[in-house]
Structure 1
Amino acid sequence: MAEKLARSQDIDGRAFDYIIIGKCLRHFETAGSVLAHRLSEDPNVTVAVLEAGKAHFDDPLINSPLLFSKQFGSPEYDWAFPVVPQENAPQAHLLPWSRGTGLGGSSKMNILAYTKPAREEMDALEALGNPGWNWESYQKYIKKAEGYLRSCRYAHRRSVSVIADSAYLALARSTIASETSITRTPSDTMARPLTVSFVPTGSGADAAFQQSLAKNGLDVLTDALGGEIIGSWKGLSTFDPDSGRRVDAATAYLLPILDRPNLKVLTEAYVCRILTEGEGESVVARGVEFEHGGRTQKAFAAREVILSAGGIKSPQILELSGIGDRKILEPLGIRTAVDLPAVGNNSQEHHLCRAPFLRMKEGKGLITGYMLATDERVAADLKEMHKLDIDYAIVLNALAFAPLQTMTDRAPEMIAKKKAQLAKNWETYPPGLRKQYELMLKLLESVKGADIEYFVSASMFRQPPEPRKPHMGVTPNLTHPWSRGAIHIASADPKAQPRIDPHYFEDEMDLEIMAEGLKYILKVIRTPPFNDLVDLELIPGLAVDVSTDEKLKDFIRKNTSTTWHTCGTCSMMPRGLGGVVDPELRVYGTKNLRVVDLSVLPLMVAVHTQAVVYGIAEQAADIIKKSAQSTSV
């Protein structure tokens, strides 16, 4: 496969219709691979992809769902971006923002979760001034990507069974009521390249988790693909049940087409800046300057440059190229091509509390990732017991999304307090933030929006004290943060890390919701039948005092971390509302420069974001193709 990659001489000094820029960041190869695939379908169009990392072909740390966490912190796989110290979360900056390096980007190191957003969340895109971006358009385009695969090897189990937990079978089936609408046949593999499926193995605790949630007011959801997300459900995964391997955007979209003569993919090509001509409102992207093999090189764009570097690097590359806030650029010696102050602002990020963490009872048939990774005998016995010809794998897919009203009786009081605070400070907010807050408040009141996600983590996110015994986390994750962060360059050096400031808990409402969410999940895990599986609550546990709201909030502040879903830093909104790109994803003030990645999402969705990016990229590909028919630079 490596022989199909481009060489430096295939790119340097040459012109291509489209240059796609990536930095191997979270969801680059989701968006970038989709664009490379779709744009190069026209044999008369030439496409170059510049990828900063290595190819990582046939790497077991990537292919195996069990070993993915070993990538975290390794320079070979992870950019590990630092975060500035946080006033309201004193230890959060100690955990870097991991982003994947290599073909496939972070789709090679994520948890494989394939989750669709709520209808109201996608309709909010249109309400923020983006005609044609709504739930209906999302459904149209995501169906071009996804292909549900029933396992041939496990057809007798219908492939949705969870071998370690037969009680979960009915719940898994109910999750995909619209299964037939996305089932892929062999004939449309290229048309719908992304394999999604149910992982045919599990932890054994998921059904009990759902039953305990139901006893606390959160029911099982019958269809998690149709625009409703409130409830508990077994999620689909980007997983091939026949091979037992991870499916990422590169393997789905890019590798099958590397032999197209009109497509050149150059790895280890670190983009420094976009080459522009003109200034003000008529800037043209003429090409890209990049470093490869220790030498600065250039590639030129006959039509467009497309930036797909993710929520961290896309704003950084724009600023390095002179597109951003003049007050940030000029002190660093960067000439301003387009004065666009919104670049890098409006950053939003899911963040979680690293608790509860539980030691589970032995002899209950519970399986966890550390058990499999540290005891080859356990893994071999499970494989033999269930007659598997793939490795037994634990993939995070026991999900639950809860509104504030389910978690606490204080919801009306908290919402009223937030409305009063918004009214008091209304005139101090920028226009775009006002509009976002209007939509967030509507979602909060409607009980359609999930304010906290919960997931059972039986994989490998925390080193247990006794790795050969079952340990699990049940993690609350803040889904619609009210706080807004910023990501900006701190140096004109392209290799210098950007300054990432998430502003965790700057808005008190975020901490209030997290506190109620943690209280709720502590109640759930103490409810049978899930409680019957728990041996000991390690964190918070008896050693940590969370007896009052203030002590609970202090615990959350000290145990907050990112979930690596950065959006909003190149928001798709009207320029007057703080937008960076228009509804065609074109950067304001430019003629032929677009951003296509999660950074354009102006308002965070509750779910894991890779399925959102597939939809954005598929729609973007159509927009770019239609633009090429009517416009020339």
Structure 2
Amino acid sequence: MSSSADDLYDFILVGAGSASCLITSRLSQQLPDHRILVLEAGEHIRNDPKVQTPGLAHTLQSNPIYDWQYSTGLEPGLNERSIKHPRGKLVGGTSAINSHSIVFPNYEWHDRLAKGLLTDAGVNDWSSEGMKECYARWQDENSQTKANHDEESPDRVQTSFPRSIDFLQSQWMRVFEDFGHTAVATGFTESSVGPVMVTNAIDASKGERSHAGTAFLEPALKRGNVTLRTGVKVDKIVFDKVLTGGKLNATGVRYTHQGEEHFISGREIVLCAGVFESPLILERSGVGSKEVLAAADVPVLYELPGVGENLQDHLNCSLSFETHDDVPTRDNVYRDPEVQKAALLEYEQSRTGRLSEGAAYSFAFTPLQMLETQSETQQLTEMVRHLVEETSSPSLQAQYAFIQKTSENPHEATATTFMLRTQRNRDTDSLPKGTPSIVPGNYVTVVAMLAHPFSRGSCHISSDLSIGPVINFNYLSHPLDTEILARHLRLIERLFQQPTFLAMAKPGGRRLPRSFPHPISSLEDAKKILPINSATNYHPCGTCSMMKEELRGVVDERLKVYGTNNIRVCDASVLPIIPRGNILTAVYAFAEKAAEIICRETKASCQSD
């Protein structure tokens, strides 16, 4: 094993994903005299048209050049399907392969997190008031007319609205107006109900994807105090044999590069390896559940049973209706290769057209009370209260009480709902072999994404350390997820009966999913659809949760791993309860707060020395 006595870094960041790139940027600016090392298992892929072109995002997922291609075990709640979970295999992480939409958490989520799951010491940092600047700092909204944008703000992700609002996007706003809900504010705000036009992580001045690698790490690498090493697989954290202050003290990390083992020394380790890999690195290092470590023959250095637990994801389900032939959906791209060629040519010539934009801008924050009767709402409220009271685990009791407040508040979304201007087929596995993946016609699809699921899963090392993580989400394992998501399918059906959508629907037109090609007439209809037509929104989080240790948390309010002096975690794994909407906004904001805390503590330590 090779090592160098001179190779001592102040900070070693494991992973070069969304959070790591941002933290590196901030540390390189604010701590210019400190040496920073970033270790990335993937590669630094620059100037790749597939990454840069917004409309080609779908070609990156499942492509082994760009995607680690994780998948779950067989999920009983989803008809024993194994669910793919793409994660970015390049600098920038999943922000470099995702589908761009920018949806923010709400104030209430942060306030409940800070006051209900953390000690009093964390309230100021993690409440909505303490996080406002963090949500504002990482992004910069822009338009295609803004010039030299990179020079003006090189350390922010560029976000933008669509260049123009098309027919279906305007109709999305109108369908909510049909029953009294006007557009609500985007961004990090208090909860509100209704439709919202969101931005996408696209630099409109270039018509290109804006991700963490380009926005944060590229500028940081030019400052002289940051070193990036790619193709590096971190095996474990190495600790002093003697405890310091009764806690483990990390001396560095052991990693493999091109088949050779290396050791690198660091004063502080920040794990940013992602929701699936950060817990595995802790477990391989001897921090985790004694049962999991014993099965893998790893000595327990600090027992922390929450490592790898509390795994959550946004499950979604959709309904589609066929529109009149003259409604301008985007289904023609599936049917006509010439449409695809024309779109690519337009993009190459002018960076305009459908390939210059993301797939989804039309969202809505939808509590069930929006279209439920009072008796329907009361029935669910009583069911939630009963099942939460039955919960025996202190950790789940705290989390479920958090979600219960959301479900009872008519101003908070129990699902984030969004519109796709095309058909969506997620039930192919349940249909006869050879069934075409695309159906004829033009479609509007509305998707309900369960805001705060009750189901919990896990991600752990295998007893065979040479294979990847063992991932199980246990989708729909908690009965309330089925109850709430089924009710949101019923809400979508009621949306379809509003005048705006009815005017677009083709008389006698097809309905999707094909496995249930009829309007939903009962809650039982909706429940039957869930196992065969539900899908992930690719928002895994929670495996190194920031919670009190007695609640099975893994990191404290300073993002320090319990039982250690100098290891932090910051990526999607630290989100203790999944926020509404797409989680990337929260990951960036948590990274801003992590950098803020690290800089504050480092500067205080330097002054005391």
TM > 0.5 between the two?
A: yes
Match of 2:452 in 1: 480
Q: What is the RMSD of the two structures over their aligned residues, measured on CA atoms?
A: 2.9
Please report how far the alpha carbon of residue 593 of structure 1 lies from its aligned counterpart in structure 2 after TM superposition. 0.2
1:313 is aligned to 2:302:
no
Please report how far the alpha carbon of residue 388 of structure 1 lies from its aligned counterpart in structure 2 after TM superposition. 5.6
Kindly provide the amino acid, as one letter, of the partner of residue 100 in structure 1.
Answer: G
1:454 is aligned to 2:417:
yes
1:83 is aligned to 2:57:
no
Post-superposition CA distance 1:285-315 (Å, at most 9, x none)? 11111121222222110x2000011221111
**Which of 537, 541, 566 is the equivalent residue of 1:567?**
541
Match of 1:99 in 2: 87
Judge conservation of contact 2:329–2:443 (CA < 8 Å) in 1.
no
Match of 1:328 in 2: 292
1:238 is aligned to 2:209:
no
**Which of 560, 563, 583 is the equivalent residue of 2:557?**
583
CA distance in structure 2 between the partners assigned to 1:53 and 1:277 by the alignment: 29
CA distance in structure 1 between the partners assigned to 2:588 and 2:78 by the alignment: 32
**Which of 329, 340, 354 is the equivalent residue of 1:392?**
354
CA distance in structure 2 between the partners assigned to 1:524 and 1:582 by the alignment: 43
Q: The residue matched to 2:223 in structure 1 has which SS?
A: coil
Gap change, CA 1:110 and 1:77, over 3 Å in 2: same
Match of 1:158 in 2: none
Please report how far the alpha carbon of residue 458 of structure 1 lies from its aligned counterpart in structure 2 after TM superposition. 3.3
1:363-402 to structure 2, matched below 5 A, reads: 363-367=326-330, 370=333, 375-376=339-340, 378-379=342-343, 389-393=351-355, 394-395=357-358, 396-402=360-366
Q: State the TM-score, normalizing by the size of structure 2.
A: 0.88
Match of 2:213 in 1: 250
Please report how far the alpha carbon of residue 534 of structure 1 lies from its aligned counterpart in structure 2 after TM superposition. 3.7
Judge conservation of contact 1:16–1:47 (CA < 8 Å) in 2.
yes
CA distance in structure 1 between the partners assigned to 2:25 and 2:221 by the alignment: 9
Kindly provide the amino acid, as one letter, of the partner of residue 577 in structure 2.
Answer: L
Kindly provide the amino acid, as one letter, of the partner of residue 483 in structure 2.
Answer: E
Gap change, CA 1:214 and 1:304, over 3 Å in 2: same
1:33 is aligned to 2:21:
yes
Please report how far the alpha carbon of residue 542 of structure 1 lies from its aligned counterpart in structure 2 after TM superposition. 8.3
Percent identity over the alignment?
A: 27
Match of 1:490 in 2: 462
Judge conservation of contact 2:448–2:489 (CA < 8 Å) in 1.
yes
1:295 is aligned to 2:260:
yes
CA distance in structure 2 between the partners assigned to 1:345 and 1:569 by the alignment: 5
**Which of 10, 13, 28 is the equivalent residue of 1:17?**
10
Kindly provide the amino acid, as one letter, of the partner of residue 365 in structure 2.
Answer: F
Q: The residue matched to 2:499 in structure 1 has which SS?
A: coil
Q: The residue matched to 2:77 in structure 1 has which SS?
A: coil
Match of 1:274 in 2: 237
**Which of 125, 139, 149 is the equivalent residue of 2:142?**
149
Post-superposition CA distance 1:171-198 (Å, at most 9, x none)? xxxxxxxxxxxxx9777514x5221211
CA distance in structure 2 between the partners assigned to 1:94 and 1:221 by the alignment: 37
CA distance in structure 1 between the partners assigned to 2:59 and 2:4 by the alignment: 33
Judge conservation of contact 1:120–1:448 (CA < 8 Å) in 2.
no
Kindly provide the amino acid, as one letter, of the partner of residue 134 in structure 2.
Answer: Y
1:337 is aligned to 2:301:
yes
Judge conservation of contact 2:251–2:265 (CA < 8 Å) in 1.
yes
Kindly provide the amino acid, as one letter, of the partner of residue 260 in structure 2.
Answer: R
Please report how far the alpha carbon of residue 541 of structure 1 lies from its aligned counterpart in structure 2 after TM superposition. 5.2
Please report how far the alpha carbon of residue 244 of structure 1 lies from its aligned counterpart in structure 2 after TM superposition. 0.3
1:408 is aligned to 2:372:
yes
Please report how far the alpha carbon of residue 278 of structure 1 lies from its aligned counterpart in structure 2 after TM superposition. 3.8
**Which of 408, 421, 427 is the equivalent residue of 2:387?**
421
CA distance in structure 1 between the partners assigned to 2:5 and 2:174 by the alignment: 59
Judge conservation of contact 2:545–2:555 (CA < 8 Å) in 1.
yes
Match of 2:49 in 1: 60
CA distance in structure 2 between the partners assigned to 1:226 and 1:557 by the alignment: 34
Q: The residue matched to 1:299 in structure 2 has which SS?
A: strand
Q: The residue matched to 2:354 in structure 1 has which SS?
A: coil
1:261 is aligned to 2:224:
yes
Post-superposition CA distance 1:474-500 (Å, at most 9, x none)? 21111110111111111352x522111
CA distance in structure 2 between the partners assigned to 1:274 and 1:401 by the alignment: 42
Gap change, CA 1:312 and 1:202, over 3 Å in 2: farther
Match of 2:493 in 1: 522
Q: The residue matched to 2:76 in structure 1 has which SS?
A: coil
Runs of 4+ in 1 over 6 A off after TM superposition: 8-13, 184-187, 380-384
Q: The residue matched to 2:130 in structure 1 has which SS?
A: helix
Judge conservation of contact 2:186–2:197 (CA < 8 Å) in 1.
no
Unaligned 5+ segments in structure 2 are 427-435
Unaligned 5+ segments in structure 1 are 1-7, 23-27, 156-183
